[in-house]
Amino acid sequence: MNQGQSRGVRIYDNRHACYFCEKVVLHIKEHLKTHRNQDMVKDILKSDQPNFTSLRKFGDDRHNRKCVEKKQGEIILARRPKGKFDVTDYGPCPNCREWVMLDHLKLHYRHCQSHEKNTVKMRRKDLVFQAQVLAGHLKDEPSSLMSKEVLPIMTRDVMSQTAQNDPLVMALGESWLRRNRGNVEKRKYYASSRMRLCARLLLALRDTKSNKDEKTYLEEGDDDEGDGDVKCEALVPKADDSKGLWHYLKPNHFDDIVLAAIKCAIPNADDEDDLLAPSNAIMLKYDLHRLINSKWAMIVKNGSADDEEAKNCKTLLALMDLEWEERVTRFARLVLARRKYEYKNELPSPKDIEQITKYLRKELDHLELVADNFRRLVALCQARILLYNKRRSGEVETIKLQFYASRSKPSDGIDESLESDLSPVEKHLLESQEFLRVRGKRGRPVPVIIPPDAKRALAFLASVEGRRSSGIVEGNPYLFPNSVNHYARAYESLRFVCGGTRSTRTT
Ligand SMILES: [Zn+2]
Ligand SMILES: [Zn+2]
């Protein structure tokens, strides 16, 4: 129900709805006693001081949820609201199901849960989100804000398709929209970027070892054959694998979740510095909390909190609180070590580099600029620039089209932001060749020099026609795109090129 759709909702504060027959009555305690054949009522009546509070709240909750769903009826609240009433400002406490103002939920919850054992700590935003799901404020179908603002700006690619087909990711997007309702300019971007991040997580999860027996994402593209086909489509889901996040958010998938989070949160971490600040992984942790909480709420909405699957959600949340930070760091180091190892093995000796460079220059010079050669050109350019500049691979592979468009010509001179760290040789190179700026360590701009022999190919990779004819997704921001909205991997390119020189040597 949207803001302002509260017409036709009247508020009771002295009547309650019966959990069993759904009648709204003035004296609920007396009324509930008439259902003495029900086990729950029997149990309560056994006590010396029968307490119907809990059952009353559950009855009210069921009643309110029906009102929200039908968009009519009278909401039962603990307190008469002051001022303008908007039903979406209210929702049930996930613990006792009393409907309270969402702004006061945390306060209520702390008090409400204080008598319980085995409690999991809940953040205010998570609680509110859970209550919104329970209340039915977050619908299965996209809200009008979502349809009008967010969905149209999401590029039509695998990531957004995945996001839009996953109920949990959609619910998360809705919650981001709501939370930033006041920020009219930015809210759609917040929502869509978090939805895409979670979609990427889902794709990575589908790709984890336990799901793919043969090989993991980390080992993608081990092309021993060197048949010249660069593998860039690791993130494209297999047609037969359509399991949603719901399936993966379970305690027994915890390891996979951690691994997947690292893979999509810090894809370019090839440096200790990147790993020491895994802010994206931390951000994902918050989103995961919210996703798990909403799964819990969706289960409990139609069943009970004793449900095995609902309990699993709580276990997973507890696991995350206990182990996330440490695991993420450990896994991240593992990823790093592995990449370094692979890189060392891939990195050619100086003598080989000379040969490879010769090969690259020849290829870049002669290769025809046509769609069929697009991927080959991507690999050649990446390898050439990587070896020429000795930059970190992450800096090279993520070069944006706009960096290329605003590259410096020799006549432009060097600005002060770059000057301080340069050696005389580098300075000379920058004064005589084209270069572009990328974000280096700690966000400082660093130069990437464009070797003259790569100019022709780069112009093709950046051209609208070149990209369109080669099937590159429109809006892909990278100079070295792959077929989805991502970029080609520099290591893969280097590996591919090494394969190329080997085969030329043998022929
Ligand atoms: Zn009744
Ligand atoms: Zn409560």
SS3 call for 252: helix
Number of structural domains the chain divides into: 3
User: Would you say residue 223 has pLDDT above 50?
Assistant: no
Residues 32, 129, single domain; the answer is: yes
Residue 235 lies in a domain: no
- Predicted confidence at residue 221, as pLDDT, reads 38
CATH label of the domain that carries residue 493: 1.10.443
Lowest model confidence (mean pLDDT) among 11-20, 146-155, 352-361, 422-431: 422-431
Q: Quick check: is 411 in a domain?
A: yes
- Same domain flag for 110 and 178: no
Residues 358-386: tens digit of each pLDDT: 999 999 999 999 999 999 999 999 999 98
Last residue of a domain, one of 342, 365, 388: 342
Ligand 2 centroid, distance to 21 Cα (angstroms): 23
Q: Is residue 112 part of a domain?
A: yes
Asked whether the predicted pLDDT for residue 75 surpasses 70, the reply is yes
Distances (CA, A) of 434 to 205, 247, 406, 449, 451: 41, 50, 11, 6, 8
Q: What is the mean pLDDT of residues 28-56?
A: 93
The DSSP letter of residue 162 is H
**Separation of CA 351 and ligand 1 centre (Å):** 87
pLDDT exceeds cutoff 80 at 471: yes
Task: Verify that 289 and 377 share a domain, yes or no.
Answer: no
With cut-offs at 50, 70 and 90, classify the pLDDT of residue 351: confident
In contact, 78 and 99? CB cutoff 8 Å: yes
- Would you state the pLDDT for residue 276? 47
CA distances from 439 to 213, 398, 399 (A): 37, 10, 9
Nearest of 151, 195, 158 to residue 176 by alpha carbon: 195
Task: Please check whether residue 216 lies inside any domain of the structure.
Answer: no
Q: Calculate the average pLDDT of the chain.
A: 80
pLDDT exceeds cutoff 70 at 160? yes
Residue 294 counted as domain residue: yes
* Cα dihedral 65→67→71→76 (10° resolution): -100
Q: Is 21 helix (H, G, I), strand (E, B) or coil?
A: coil
Q: Note whether 371 and 468 are same-domain residues.
A: yes
Distance of CA 134 to the CA centre of its chain: 23
Q: Report pLDDT for 106.
A: 92
Hunting for tokens 């959609």 — which residue is that? 170
166 within some domain: yes
Query: Who has greater pLDDT, 262 or 13?
Result: 262
Instruction: Specify the higher pLDDT residue, 177 or 119.
Output: 177
CA of 77 to the centre of ligand 1 (A): 19
- Whether residue 328 is predicted with pLDDT greater than 70 in this model: the reply is yes
**Torsion angles phi and psi, residue 25, rounded to 5:** -130, 165
pLDDT above 90 covers a percentage of the chain that reads 31
CA distance 24 to 60: 9
Same domain, 199 and 335: yes
Among candidate residues 397, 393, 277, 399, the one with its CA nearest the CA of residue 344 = 393
C-alpha 35 to ligand 1 mean position (Å): 7
pLDDT class of 210 with cuts at 50, 70, 90: low
Q: What is the mean pLDDT of residues 333-348?
A: 62
Report CA(100)–ligand 2 centroid distance (Å): 9
Do 321 and 387 belong to one domain? no
Give distance in angstroms: CA of 110 to centre of ligand 2.
8
Is residue 203 one of the residues assigned to a domain?
Answer: yes
For residue 36, the ligand closest to its alpha carbon is 1
pLDDT top residue among 11 and 244: 244
pLDDT digits (tens, 9 = 90+) for 162-177: 898 898 999 899 888 8
Identify whether the C-beta of residue 320 lies closer than 8 Å to the C-beta of residue 359.
Answer: no
Neighbours of 355 (CB within 10 A): 16
Across the range 340-363, mean pLDDT stands at 76
Taking only the tens place, the pLDDT of each residue in 92-112 is: 999 899 999 999 999 999 888
Residue 316's H or E segment, with its range, is: helix 308-346
In the predicted structure, residue 13 carries a pLDDT above the cut 50: yes
Measured in Å, residue 386 CA sits from the centre of ligand 2 at 58
Same domain, 457 and 387: yes
Q: What is the pLDDT of residues 128-140, one digit of tens each?
A: 888 988 898 876 6
Q: Which ligand is nearest to the CA of 37?
A: 1
Could you tell me the distance, in angstroms and rounded to a whole number, from the CA of residue 113 to the centre of ligand 2?
7
Q: Residue 40 belongs to what domain range? A: 16-135
Sorting pLDDT into bands at 50, 70 and 90, what band is 33? very high
Q: What's the 112 CA to ligand 2 centre distance in angstroms?
A: 5
Ranges 64-73, 224-233, 327-336, most confident:
64-73
Kindly state whether residues 178 and 123 are assigned to the same domain.
no
Q: Of 243-257, 348-362, 437-451, which range is least confident?
A: 437-451
Neighbours of 322 (CB within 10 A): 10
User: Where does a domain end: 342, 375, 391?
Assistant: 342
Q: Which ligand is nearest to the CA of 28?
A: 1
Q: Give the pLDDT of residue 27.
A: 92
* Burial (CB count <10 Å: 0-12, 13-18, 19+), residue 192: buried
Asked whether residue 56 falls in the same domain as residue 160, the answer is no
Residue 423 and residue 363 share a domain: yes
Give the pLDDT of residue 502: 54
Taking the chain, what is the end-to-end CA distance rounded to the nearest angstrom? Answer: 69
**Residues 187 and 327 both lie in one domain:** yes
Q: Does residue 400 share a domain with residue 448?
A: yes
The pLDDT of residue 35 is 95
Tokens linked to 47 = 């006590």
Which of 102, 135, 168 terminates a domain? The answer is: 135
pLDDT of residue 233: 38
> Quick check: 481 and 487 in contact, CB under 8 A?
yes
b/e 89-105 (16+ beta carbons within 10 angstroms → b): ebbbbbbbbbbbbbeeb
pLDDT at 425 over 80: no
More reliable by pLDDT, 276 or 161: 161
- Kindly report, residue by residue over 384-408, the tens digit of the pLDDT: 998 888 777 778 888 999 989 988 8
Mean pLDDT of 183-208: 87
DSSP reduced 3-state for 141: coil
Q: Decide if 385 is inside a domain.
A: yes
Cα of 18 vs centre of ligand 1, distance in Å, is 5
